[in-house]
């Protein structure tokens, strides 16, 4: 032993001549590689910033909606007396509310109600949604019949877009959606302080609508929520059970290898294929209703399963084998070992994987188009069996609309979707930080 050590020392002290290995070149290569890395990150960041900027700059206005304060006369002439309303609501339901609103606004603007052109211009300033807004007011409180109330009404999307500066007013009058007369009215209203931009709660509560000012993502949010719940309820237990079996119990042989390869491949299958599968199996074969959140949830479950299985297996594998030995060593059975020790330690990883999988499912559009979730759904689904849409599908549908007001709503809905995704990812990060264990 000591001989070799001495020899080694002797050799190093002789300092053999070193050939030139290009130290300068090596440093240059290192610097170059660092620069490549920084450039790559910069490009990525630039794209991200461009994306966020384009979405936010177009979309933030969607969260504000112009409203006009109009004195509305709920005359008994039009609506009938409260006594009549108590007997039959037909008259209340059928009454011409836009007319009432139009007349109220005309009064505010000092427009002669017999001037049909002027009245048309006035009417186009208010949303057609007043029909429902005013009707609900009356139905909620019959005592307002016969009185005059100041009511904030939704302005039409043309007025809204004009106020937000989304129209080029330099083009000739007949080539833009808002006339000079209307612009004049808007100015008058602004002077009176009867026009205001308010937070657009309707964007979150309304369903699909052909009028931009009464279109919202409410139904889509509920549809997405139903689907996420279904995915969570199905994919998590199935995925975790499959992973535990594969990772802890299954013998390692050709067959389990085949299963493993297939699961990994399944994660890479284009999502539209899952949509076709859902159409063939759940709708045509099982006879489940079209456009239903249930079918969407089932399809997304199939899509999310491989993600959850892969994440769970990775989490299980990350639990050190010494913990398993320790449990087996004190006489715990295989199942006790897994459920008392391995699974709790893998839980943060499993949760993170599940949330990432859910986020992926939340943003998925293509398979939902195939199972008919691209429908025009104005009413809230009361069960997952009712027709619904999903957030990304709503974005897709709005993106096909030409109106300026829908353009901003498309971006607004994207912001909402991104916010949901960000919340989910932050939750995943938080859970991982909170429950991560160190050995």
Residues lying near other proteins in the complex (CB under 8 A) = 251-252, 320, 322-333, 336, 340-341, 345, 437-439
Q: Tell me how crowded residue 3 is: count the other CB atoms within 10 A of its CB.
A: 7
Q: Which is nearer to other proteins, 290 or 437 (CB)?
A: 437
State the nearest-atom distance from the C-beta of 337 to other proteins, in Å: 10
- Token representation of residue 131: 């029909």
Question: Which of 149, 143, 146 minimizes the C-alpha distance to 86?
Answer: 143
Q: Tell me how crowded residue 400 is: count the other CB atoms within 10 A of its CB.
A: 9
Question: Which of 150, 144, 140 minimizes the C-alpha distance to 79?
Answer: 144
Contact 312, 243 (CB under 8 A): yes
Rounded-to-10 torsion of CA 106, 107, 113, 119: 0
Q: CB neighbours of 192 closer than 8 A, spacing ≥ 6?
A: 108
How does DSSP classify residue 423? H
- Token representation of residue 291: 């456009």
Q: Which is nearer to other proteins, 199 or 255 (CB)?
A: 255
State the nearest-atom distance from the C-beta of 336 to other proteins, in Å: 6
- Give the whole-angstrom CA distance, residue 135 versus residue 398: 27
Q: Which is nearer to other proteins, 276 or 328 (CB)?
A: 328
State the nearest-atom distance from the C-beta of 311 to other proteins, in Å: 21
State the nearest-atom distance from the C-beta of 439 to other proteins, in Å: 7
Q: Which is nearer to other proteins, 24 or 252 (CB)?
A: 252
State the nearest-atom distance from the C-beta of 16 to other proteins, in Å: 32
State the nearest-atom distance from the C-beta of 200 to other proteins, in Å: 49
Alpha helices by DSSP H, 218-342: 218-244, 254-266, 271-278, 293-318, 321-329, 334-336
| Strands (E) located in 87-240 | 148-154, 195-199
State the nearest-atom distance from the C-beta of 323 to other proteins, in Å: 6
State the nearest-atom distance from the C-beta of 303 to other proteins, in Å: 32
Q: Are strands 64-73 and 148-154 parallel, antiparallel or unpaired?
A: antiparallel
What residues form DSSP beta bridges with 387? 292
Q: Which is nearer to other proteins, 327 or 362 (CB)?
A: 327
State the nearest-atom distance from the C-beta of 310 to other proteins, in Å: 22
Q: How far is CA 219 from the centre of its chain?
A: 12
Distance of CA 221 to CAs 44, 360, 425, Å? Answer: 30, 15, 18
What residues form DSSP beta bridges with 150? 71
Q: How far is CA 16 from the centre of its chain?
A: 67
State the nearest-atom distance from the C-beta of 10 to other proteins, in Å: 25
- Token representation of residue 65: 């909606």
- The CB-side HSE value for 187 (13 A sphere, CA atoms) comes to 6
Burial of 2 (0-12, 13-18, 19+ CB in 10 A): exposed
Q: Which is nearer to other proteins, 36 or 325 (CB)?
A: 325
Q: Which is nearer to other proteins, 87 or 333 (CB)?
A: 333
Q: Which is nearer to other proteins, 116 or 254 (CB)?
A: 254
Q: Which is nearer to other proteins, 285 or 439 (CB)?
A: 439
Q: Which is nearer to other proteins, 192 or 322 (CB)?
A: 322
């Amino acid at each position: 032993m000591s001989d070799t050590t001495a020899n080694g020392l002797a050799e190093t002290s002789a300092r053999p001549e070193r050939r030139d290995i290009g130290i300068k070149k090596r440093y240059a290569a290192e610097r170059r590689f660092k620069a490549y890395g920084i450039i790559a990150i910069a490009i990525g960041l630039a794209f991200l910033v461009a994306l966020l900027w384009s979405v936010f700059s177009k979309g933030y206005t969607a969260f504000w909606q112009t409203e006009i304060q109009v004195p509305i006369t709920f005359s008994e002439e039009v609506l009938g007396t409260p006594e009549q309303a108590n007997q039959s609501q037909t008259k209340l339901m059928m009454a011409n509310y836009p007319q009432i609103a139009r007349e109220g606004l005309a009064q505010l603007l000092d427009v002669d109600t017999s001037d049909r052109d002027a009245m048309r211009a006035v009417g186009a300033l208010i949303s057609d949604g007043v029909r429902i807004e005013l009707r609900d007011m009356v139905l909620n409180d019959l005592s307002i019949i016969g009185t005059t109330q100041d009511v904030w009404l939704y302005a039409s999307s043309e007025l809204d877009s004009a106020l937000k500066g989304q129209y080029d007013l330099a083009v000739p009058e007949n080539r833009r959606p808002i006339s000079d007369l209307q612009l004049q009215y808007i100015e008058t209203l602004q002077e009176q302080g009867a026009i205001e931009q308010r937070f657009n709660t309707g964007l979150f509560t309304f369903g699909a609508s052909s009028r931009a000012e009464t279109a919202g993502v409410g139904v889509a949010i509920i549809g997405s929520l139903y689907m996420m719940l279904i995915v969570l309820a199905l994919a998590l237990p199935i995925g975790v059970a499959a992973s535990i079996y594969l990772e802890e119990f299954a013998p390692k042989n050709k067959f389990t290898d085949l299963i493993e390869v297939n699961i990994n491949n399944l994660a890479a299958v284009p999502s539209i294929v899952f949509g076709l599968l859902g159409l063939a199996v759940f709708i045509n074969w099982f006879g489940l209703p079209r456009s239903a959140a249930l079918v969407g949830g089932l399809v997304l479950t199939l899509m999310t399963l491989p993600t959850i299985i892969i994440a769970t297996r990775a989490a299980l594998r990350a639990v050190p084998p010494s913990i398993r030995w320790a449990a087996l060593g004190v006489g715990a059975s295989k199942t006790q070992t897994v459920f008392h020790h391995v699974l709790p330690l893998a839980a943060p990883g499993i949760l993170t994987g599940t949330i990432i999988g859910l986020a992926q499912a939340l943003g998925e559009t293509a398979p939902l188009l195939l199972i008919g979730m691209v429908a025009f759904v104005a009413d809230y689904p009361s069960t997952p069996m009712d027709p619904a849409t999903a957030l990304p599908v709503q974005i897709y549908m709005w993106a096909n609309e030409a109106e300026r007001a829908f353009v901003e709503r498309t971006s607004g809905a994207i912001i909402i979707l991104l916010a949901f995704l960000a919340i989910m990812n932050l939750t995943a990060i938080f859970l991982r930080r909170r429950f991560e264990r160190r050995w």
